[in-house]
Amino acid sequence: MNTCIFCGAILEADSKIVKFPETFTAYQFLQAGSGACSRCAEMFVDPKFRRNSWIIKGREFTVLEDPLGTLLNLPEPPFILYLTKGKRKHGWIRAVQNPVLSRDRFILVVDEDKVVFERDVFAGLNGFADQLLDRGVPKSVLLGGMPAASAVRKFSLSRGECGRLRELHHNSLWRICIGFKRRM
């Protein structure tokens, strides 16, 4: 039985043989074979799939203007979700291999990284981020770990907030939350 080298779906009669350009470097994400289903073949050649954050539900493809808003208000599964900041990678391959089957906990693909997304944890992080951003704390301070003494004074950060920022320094969900935040 032949399967798609990208998503693993069983190949139908309309499958395509994929020819890779010399510049392709994401072979480690592929599965054995040389064929691709029609959806993945189109995704491979069309740059909109690697340059945009998007969601695919059924056969409907939607570019996400507000990825953070989507994460906070997820549709009913199943769907495929891909987020990108780099806009040039082949992380979408990992996204089609990890469809979202639960709104509460799933593998989120951001560029070429996979992160365990937990909805309630993410909502809490988003609330904490909003509190600090509303007080004018810059993203660089939110992502920098323990804030400098000058930032603590300037933004009136409590000891608890400083400790939480230190704990969140290497947290992938925190980095996604802050990375996709827009200043109001």
Provide block-wise average pLDDT over 10 residues at a time, the chain (184 residues): 86 82 89 86 89 92 94 95 85 93 96 94 97 95 94 95 96 95 66
Q: What pLDDT was estimated at residue 184?
A: 46
DSSP assignment of 105-134: EEEEEETTEEEEEEHHHHHHHHHHHHHHHH
Beta carbons of 154 and 141 less than 8 angstroms apart: no
Residue type, 120: D
Instruction: Name the token pair of 103.
Output: 């709104």
Residue type, 81: L
Q: What pLDDT was estimated at residue 166?
A: 96
Three-class SS of residue 158? Answer: coil
Q: What pLDDT was estimated at residue 183?
A: 55
DSSP-derived secondary structure letter, 79: B
